[in-house]
Amino acid sequence: MLRQVLAVVAVLCSAPVLAQDVATMDAYVTAHEEAGTFMGSVLVARDGDVLLDKGYGAANLSWDIPNTPDTKFRIGSVTKQFTSVAILKLAEQGRLSLDAPIATYLDDTPDSWASITVRQLLTHTSGIPSFTSLDNFRTIKMLPATRETLIAEFRDEPLGFEPGSQFEYSNSGYLLLTAIVEDVSGQPYAEFLRANVLTPLGMSDTDIDDNTSIIARRATGYAPSPDGIVRAEYVNMDIPQGAGALYSTTHDLLKWQQGLFAGQVVSQESLAQYVTPALDNYALDVFVRKNEAGTTYLHNGGIEGFNSWLGYDPDRKLTVAVFANLNGPTVDTIGAALMGLAQGGELTMPIVREEVSLDPAQLAEYEGVYAIAPTFKITVFSEGDALRAQATGQQPFALLAESEDRFFVKVVDAQIRFDRDENGMITGLTLFQNGRELPAPRE
C-alpha cells in the first residue's frame, strides 16, 4: 500500500520551450536546485548583454548564506585556460616556442620526455599520465607540496603512448606548464597571471586559492553522499597550481571571455591557435564543438566541492558560465542546455520527481544482487525503513520510491525499475541513466 509523503516539488512539464526565454532558463536551473543536485551561480550573456545572472542554493549551508552572482567558486580545470593563454603570451614575447621540446625550458627531465613538446602538454597528447590518477593521490592531495615534489610523483612513470599519437587528459601536463611559465618568465605563476591577464581585464575577484587566506564571499564546497549533502573532502590548494587552483565569479569569467576573444590578452594569431583542435576536438584547453546550432568553445572543471562549466559561441558572442559548490554532473547538463537554448534550440525541462513512501514490510522483497555485467553488480538492501543500493566499487546510496517498483536516486540522475514475471515475482531491475536502459537480472 502506498502512502504519499511530502513532495519535493511538483513535476514540471517536459514539453520543449521556445529559445531565448530567460524565464525558462531560470526555471530550468531552479528545477535542478529544487531536485537537490545544484547549488551555485549562473550567467548567460550575449555580446555584453547579460540575460541571466543569478545565484541558487547556499554558499554556506551551516549559516544558510545564499549564493549570489558575486559568490566566488573554485573553478577547477577551467584554470587551464589561463595557463594556456599564459604560454601563448610568452610565445608572443619570443620567450618560448610551442613546438620546442619541454626539456628546452625545464631542467632534469627524464629521457622518456625528450620528444614531448610544449604544444603536446597543452593539448593533452604528451602521454604523461595524470598524477590525479595515481593510486596514492588520495594521500598526496591532503599534504603540503611544492612543484618539485609533485613532479617527482609522476616523472618516472612510463608514458601511456607515443607523444602526439593520442589524446588523454593529463593534469600532470599542466603542472609542467605551470613550471614552464615560472621558469621562462622568472615570476611565480600567480604573479605572471595577475600582471598579464587578471589586472588588465579588471578581474579583481579571481586569483589563486589557498587554504589559509580569508577570502570574502568564497563559497564552501559540498558533495553528495548516501545520507545527503556533506562537506567536501579536504584538498591542499598547493596541489592543483595551473591545472586547477583558481577561484573566480561568473562576472569575472564574462570579462575573461570578452577580453580574450576581443584580442585584449593575446593576438588574433594566438587566438587562432588557441581554438584549433589537435586530437578529439581538443585545442589549447578548449573543446571545440560544431553542430547545426553553431560553434562552441567549452571546458568544464571539477575539484573537491566544486564544479564549473564555461562555454563561448564566437559567432553570437554568447557566454555561458555555470559554477557550483556541490559536486556532481548537473553543472555540465545546465551549461550545455542553456547554451543550446541561447543558440536558438529547444530545452526540455527536467522532471523533478515526487517522493512517496512504501510500507517498510514491502522493502524486503526488493533485496538482492542484480548483475548489469559479470563484474558490475547492484546490491539492494533495506536499512531501517529505507532502501539502499550499492554498485560494485561505489558507496551505497538511497533509493527513493516514486511508485511501487519504481525508485530514483538524488545524488545522480538515475532511476531504477524492479521487473516482475507473470507470477509477480521480481526477476531483475532496469537502471535508467544517461539516456540508457541497463537490464540487470536478479542472481
For the chain, what are the domain ranges? 73-348, 356-441
48 vs 262, 319, 418, CA distance in Å? 12, 9, 50
Residues of the chain with pLDDT under 70: 1-20
Cell of 229: 549533502
pLDDT of residue 71: 98
Q: Regarding the domain with residue range 73-348, which homologous superfamily does it belong to in the CATH classification?
A: DD-peptidase/beta-lactamase superfamily (3.40.710.10)
CATH for 356-441 is: 2.40.128.50
Cell of 193: 597571471
Strand 246-248: give its sheet, edge to edge: 73-74, 246-248, 207-208
pLDDT of residue 225: 84
pLDDT of residue 198: 98
- Judge contact between 73 and 306, C-beta under 8 A: yes
Cell of 133: 590518477
pLDDT of residue 336: 95
- Judge contact between 153 and 59, C-beta under 8 A: no
pLDDT of residue 35: 85
C-alpha–C-alpha distance, residues 69 and 321, integer Å: 11
pLDDT of residue 11: 31
User: For the chain, give me the number of helices (H) and strands (E)?
Assistant: 10, 25
DSSP character string of 159-185: PSSSTTS-----HHHHHHHHHHHHHHH
- Closest by Cα among 180, 181, 172 to 106: 180
Percentages helix, strand, coil for the chain (3-state, rounded to 5) are 30, 30, 40
DSSP 38: -
DSSP character string of 42-92: EEEEETTEEEEEEEESEEETTTTEEP-TT-BEE-GGGHHHHHHHHHHHHHH
- Closest by Cα among 7, 25, 46, 47 to 352: 7
pLDDT of residue 435: 73
Residue 20's CB is within 10 A of a number of other CB atoms, namely 14
C-alpha–C-alpha distance, residues 180 and 352, integer Å: 47
C-alpha–C-alpha distance, residues 218 and 232, integer Å: 14
pLDDT of residue 180: 98
